[in-house]
Structure 1
Amino acid sequence: MTLKGYLVTGLLLWLPLAVTLWVLNLIVGTLDQTLTLLPDAWRPDHLLGVNIPGFGVIFAVLVLLGTGMLTANVLGQRLLMFWHGVISRTPVVKSIYNSVKQVSDTLLSDSGQAFRRALLVRFPHQDAWTVAFQTGRPSDNLAPLLGADEYISVYVPTTPNPTSGYFIMVAKKDTRELEMSVDEALKYVISMGVVAPQSARKH
């Protein structure tokens, strides 16, 4: 093996680990900022005398669990309705909050239909295909303008960062449903086609 081969082999071994550690450090560092919500006397670095990374993750998980448990009862539902009412009457804030809430409800709710199906669609032109995810159907005021064919709404993620992408409406007859889970399709997109889905490997 040549010197270049050794360098490439070493890079392939260390790059995934380095990126994983960088992402974890970014997540932990961001969540540790939630500790600033606590009074100074309650912060772990003040109580222990030393700053230990990771307490913000524990605090964030406890806040999420506590909020979920609180809203599971009647009193919590009333507090939640009151909070939504206050936000909905606040100028500027209400438009941002409502938009984010609609997206999060669609993506995270059990009743949401976003990213429930992986598809092949023609993008960015008619001679190319890419992996996309069905997010729903065009709204009632848009559907009549699209013609007689049945249209669906899809999200086309970019590679290797699937959090950005394109929202398009395409004729259902021009799509192909994939025999792979959403998770497999996302891995396929993120890996730029390198990590083949399990179903494809079997075939």
Structure 2
Amino acid sequence: MTEKLIKVSVPTRIRNNFLAGLIICAPIAITLWLTWSIVHWADSWVRPYIPARYDPENYLNFAVPGTGLVIAMIFITLIGFLAKNLIGQSIVRLGESLVNRVPLVRTIYKSVKQIFETVLKEQGTSFKKVGLIEYPSPGLWSMVFISTDAKGEIASKFNAMGQDMVAVFLPPTPVPTAGFLVFVPREKITILDMSPEDGAKLLISGGLVSPEYRQELIAAKGLPKPIPMDSLT
């Protein structure tokens, strides 16, 4: 009986050790692989346009990965600096006016530009808070990313009905990039203290990776109180 238990426990220990090592090694390996792939992708796009006299590989006996990526970052930074000047703004407006005259290209350009402006805008308020709403039925709670107050025609329709609505993004698990845009009454949203990054981790992991909670709030029971009316403005 003892020998049988020993034979069962040894494979179990080996499996547990393997899984523990996989948890440590897999994120490191994937991070290194993604970083290396991005560096090589940037080099493959930029290096062909680098003049030979400025290419460090012409003076060294070994390859220098990342040269294209560094040059691309410098170039993009310079473009951003020039675009803030009056002359640069005029050139950008002229280029956009030319692009807007091409039917298919202008649609793609406007869509891509709007996405980048929404994601990278420093003063934006998109997805800076995480909340809970009762969905898909009362008593069941789903995590949402709070976007902004209802605006434009939608806000006008809701205001006519006497409702103060907030736009939230309801993502699925484990791919939070897809989901639903839902307009929810402000008083029915329960704010959470976790950051959007922690919320994304919780969703991607299917609830297995839970963010740390402040010690002074651990004793609190139940869900946080509904958010105030002016906390999302």
Matches within 5 A, 1:3-22: 3-22=14-33
Paired residue for 1:34?
45
Aligned partner of 1:113 among 122, 125, 147: 125
Q: Which segment drifts farther, 113-122 or 66-75?
A: 113-122
Paired residue for 2:188?
174
Aligned partner of 2:105 among 89, 93, 97: 93
In percent, how many aligned pairs have the same letter? 28
TM-superposed deviation, 1:190: 3.4
* Counterpart check, 1:77 vs 2:70: no
Aligned partner of 2:66 among 44, 47, 54: 54
Rounded to whole Å, the distance in 2 between the matches of 1:97 and 1:178 is: 36
Q: Which segment drifts farther, 76-85 or 180-189?
A: 180-189
Q: Which segment drifts farther, 106-115 or 41-50?
A: 41-50
TM-superposed deviation, 1:59: 2.0
Describe the superposition over 1:93-134 as per-residue Cα deviations: whole angstroms up to 9, x where unpaired: 111211222222122112322112211133445443232212
TM-superposed deviation, 1:166: 2.8
Distance 1:198 1:7, change over 3 A: closer
Distance 1:36 1:161, change over 3 A: farther
Counterpart contact for 2:47–2:68, Cα < 8 Å: no
- Structure 1 gap segments, 5+ residues each: none
TM-superposed deviation, 1:178: 1.0
Three-state SS of the structure 2 residue aligned to 1:59 is: helix
Distance 1:137 1:37, change over 3 A: farther
Q: Which segment drifts farther, 3-12 or 154-163?
A: 154-163
Q: CA RMSD in A?
A: 2.8
Aligned partner of 2:211 among 192, 197, 202: 197
Counterpart contact for 2:149–2:166, Cα < 8 Å: yes
Rounded to whole Å, the distance in 2 between the matches of 1:158 and 1:60 is: 35
Rounded to whole Å, the distance in 1 between the matches of 2:167 and 2:88 is: 35
Greater Rg over alpha carbons, structure? 2
Paired residue for 1:140?
152
Three-state SS of the structure 1 residue aligned to 2:153 is: coil
